[in-house]
């Protein structure tokens, strides 16, 4: 091996050390009988080689078969600088000691100084670790909450947007439930919601999972004190560490609040005329507003007062309940969403229950509460289910039409206004069975009274106020009636069949334009 030529004590000592080590290895081998050397195994030879070398810090290229030499050491470009070879560290230490003696200094003192520096660094690291250990530990929890979505751009946190999650996270930081170290990113606490609601949509109950500091007196009260009144936490449940509110939510309950005057018989429609099917909804209009034209009638205050006097009778209420019960079970809901066809497996959805309440008077208008419990929902599905029943009752169409909508023919079903829709609560049946007897079940039952009070004050009140001020449901009906030709409601007939003219062909576009206030059903 060619050794770099240098007059410095360090490198000279390194060369001597290498030579000494090589001599040791050679002597060890030469002391053995020739037949033993030639007959020993490759593994034993290797052990003999390593025994005579200091390889504790060696990271260079492979050694050659001749012990004590390194192939290409002078050309190797690694992290460690020359000189290369066995015993490098020992040689460097020896050279350092010689240099220290020549200068009249003590190498041990230098090492001591280095130890002090390392000690200071270690002390700082220890203090940092102690500080971390002193922090209050986080626990995986499920927050049970409700909110009125008015004025918010949805549930899910979104940069530069006012969202429910955004305000909740800020309140938790201010209350100390989320540490300052984690306050800059919601992902650091693994926050996840069980159902995402869109702009302006409400939730009487929703669940958010995250890692939270719980060792705070009245932590829920402290967080609520930092929240606006339209967002409330009812409580929290300690969960398993792997809990994810979205993944482990196995079903959801939605509610739709509907004024009964929508079931008034539809007035006679104008004769069908041929002409272009023009879009009548304005995508940039405010929530719920429509682009009116001369063919749409606007109800006068007197007409609205008369409509609000309507009271649903027992026969009509029975038909309404029978209609909604037709949705129960596993059905193909391709006609109750957008952008789907009959053959897509995702259109198969399982509805467990559909309840229709007794009529309830609120501020001079009679209302029904519709509650649907389903395993999962598609976009607009609930609003279209409500819309179809409303149109069937108004036109006295037989209920046998409903099973026809689950078949292959594609028809246009209008979606009811978003105003009446809210998330009632997510359900975690499978999770609760898994943790039964081990952990607290994740249910809203202990907070039913509190939830109802919140819903009455902040959700129902907002829905009713907007309906009384803007007549949203009447506006919806007037649009449907004024443009029945455009929407092609030929399937609303006395026979309860879907005629050829009502079937949407490939290339036809009958879907309403999008408006704000949708809920993204899961």
Residue 74 structure tokens: 């002078």
Name the 3-class secondary structure at 519.
Answer: strand
In the prediction, which pLDDT does 200 show? Answer: 85
Nearest Cα to 509, choosing from 429, 417, 410? 410
CA 456, 457, 458, 461: dihedral to nearest 10 degrees? 70
In the prediction, which pLDDT does 136 show? Answer: 76
| Ramachandran area for residue 516 (φ above 0: left; ψ -120 to 50: alpha; else beta) | beta
Q: What is the DSSP string of 374-442?
A: ES---TTHHHHHHHHHHHHHHHT--TTHHHHTTSS-----PPPPGGGEEEEEEE-HHHHHHSTTTS---
pTM: 0.70
Which band of pLDDT confidence, cut at 50, 70 and 90, is reported for residue 493? Answer: very high
Q: How far apart are CA 108 and CA 225, in angstroms?
A: 62
What's the number of CA atoms in the CB half-sphere (13 Å) around residue 148?
18
CB neighbourhood size of 29 (10 A): 15
DSSP H helical segments within 216-276, as ranges?
219-225
Q: What is the DSSP string of 24-82?
A: HHHHHHHTS-HHHHHHS-HHHHHHHHHHTS--TT--SSPBPSSTT-BTTTTT---SSPS
> What is the percent of the chain where pLDDT is above 90?
60
Q: 83 preceded by cis ω (within 30°)? A: yes
pLDDT surpasses 50 at 321: yes
- Respond yes or no: is residue 198 known to be catalytic: yes
Instruction: State pLDDT tens for residues 125-146.
Output: 545 544 554 567 899 999 999 9
Least trusted range by pLDDT, from 43-47, 181-185, 294-298, 377-381: 43-47
Residue 203 burial (CB < 10 Å; 0-12/13-18/19+)?
buried
Using an 8 Å Cβ cutoff, are 324 and 385 in contact? yes
Least trusted range by pLDDT, from 142-146, 169-173, 271-275: 271-275
Query: Which range, 180-184, 289-293, 421-425, has the best average confidence (pLDDT)?
Result: 421-425
More confident residue, 1 or 309: 309
Pairing of strands 365-374, 360-362: antiparallel
Least trusted range by pLDDT, from 108-112, 209-213, 443-447: 108-112
In the prediction, which pLDDT does 267 show? Answer: 83
Question: Rounded to a whole number, what is the largest CA-CA distance in the chain?
Answer: 121
pLDDT surpasses 80 at 35: no
Which band of pLDDT confidence, cut at 50, 70 and 90, is reported for residue 153? Answer: very high
Residue 251 burial (CB < 10 Å; 0-12/13-18/19+)?
buried
Q: How far apart are CA 226 and CA 215, in angstroms?
A: 18
Instruction: State pLDDT tens for residues 369-419.
Output: 999 999 999 999 999 999 999 999 999 999 999 999 999 999 999 999 999
Domains of the chain: 9-103 (no CATH), 138-238 (3.30.70.580), 252-424+443-502 (3.30.70.660)
CA 177, 180, 183, 188: dihedral to nearest 10 degrees? -80
Is the C-alpha dihedral spanning 478, 482, 488, 494 positive or negative? positive
CB neighbourhood size of 421 (10 A): 25
Query: Which range, 47-51, 262-266, 515-519, has the best average confidence (pLDDT)?
Result: 262-266
Which band of pLDDT confidence, cut at 50, 70 and 90, is reported for residue 483? Answer: confident
Residue with tokens 């509805």: 351
In the prediction, which pLDDT does 198 show? Answer: 84
Q: Could you say which of 198, 215, 445, 485 is catalytic? A: 198
Using an 8 Å Cβ cutoff, are 147 and 141 in contact? no
Query: Which range, 46-60, 97-111, 358-372, 481-495, has the best average confidence (pLDDT)?
Result: 358-372
The mean predicted confidence, pLDDT, of the chain is: 79
């Amino acid at each position: 091996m060619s050794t770099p030529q240098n007059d410095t004590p360090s490198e000279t000592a390194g060369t001597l050390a290498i030579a000494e080590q090589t001599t040791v290895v050679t002597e060890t081998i030469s002391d053995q009988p020739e037949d033993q050397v030639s007959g020993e195994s490759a593994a034993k030879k290797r052990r003999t080689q390593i025994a005579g070398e200091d390889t504790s810090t060696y990271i260079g290229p492979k050694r050659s078969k001749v012990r004590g030499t390194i192939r290409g050491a002078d050309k190797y470009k690694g992290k460690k600088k020359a000189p290369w070879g066995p015993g490098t560290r020992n040689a460097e230490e020896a050279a350092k000691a010689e240099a220290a003696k020549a200068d009249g200094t003590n190498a041990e003192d230098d090492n001591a100084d280095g130890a002090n520096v390392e000690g200071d660094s270690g002390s700082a690291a220890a203090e940092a670790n102690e500080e971390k250990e002193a922090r209050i530990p986080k626990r995986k929890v499920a927050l049970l909450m409700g909110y009125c979505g008015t004025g918010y751009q949805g549930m899910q946190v979104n940069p530069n947007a006012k969202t429910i999650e955004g305000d909740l996270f800020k309140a938790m930081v201010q209350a100390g439930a989320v540490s300052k170290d984690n306050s800059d990113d919601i992902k650091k606490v693994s926050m996840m919601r069980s159902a995402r609601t869109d702009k302006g949509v409400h939730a009487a109950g929703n669940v958010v999972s995250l890692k939270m500091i719980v060792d705070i007196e009245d932590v829920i009260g402290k967080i609520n004190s930092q929240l606006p009144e339209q967002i409330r936490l009812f409580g929290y449940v300690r969960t398993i560490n792997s809990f994810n509110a979205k993944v482990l939510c196995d079903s959801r309950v939605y509610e739709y609040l509907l004024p009964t005057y929508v079931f008034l018989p539809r007035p006679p429609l104008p004769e069908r005329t041929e002409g272009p099917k023009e879009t009548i909804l304005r995508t940039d209009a405010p929530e719920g507003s429509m682009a009116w034209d001369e063919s749409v009638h606007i109800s006068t205050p007197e007409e609205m007062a008369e409509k609000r006097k309507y009271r649903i009778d027992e026969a009509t209420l029975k038909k309404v309940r029978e209609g909604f019960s037709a949705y129960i079970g596993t059905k193909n809901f391709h006609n109750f969403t957008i952008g789907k066809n009959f053959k897509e497996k995702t259109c198969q959805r399982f509805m467990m229950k559909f309840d229709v309440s007794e009529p309830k008077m609120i501020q001079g208008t009679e209302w029904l509460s519709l509650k649907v419990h389903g395993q999962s929902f598609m976009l607009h599905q609930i609003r279209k289910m409500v819309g179809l029943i409303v149109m069937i009752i108004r036109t006295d169409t037989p209920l046998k039409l409903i099973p026809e909508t689950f078949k292959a023919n594609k028809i246009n079903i209008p979606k009811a206004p978003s105003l009446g829709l809210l998330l009632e609560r997510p359900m975690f049946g499978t999770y609760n069975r898994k943790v039964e007897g081990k952990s607290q079940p994740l249910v809203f039952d202990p907070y039913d009274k509190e939830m109802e009070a919140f819903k009455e004050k902040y959700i129902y009140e907002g829905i009713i106020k907007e309906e009384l001020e803007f007549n949203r449901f009447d506006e919806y009906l007037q649009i449907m009636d004024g443009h029945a030709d455009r929407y092609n409601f030929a399937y609303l007939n006395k026979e309860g069949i879907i005629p050829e003219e009502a079937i949407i062909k490939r290339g036809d576009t009958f879907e309403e334009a999008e408006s704000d206030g949708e809920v993204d059903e899961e």
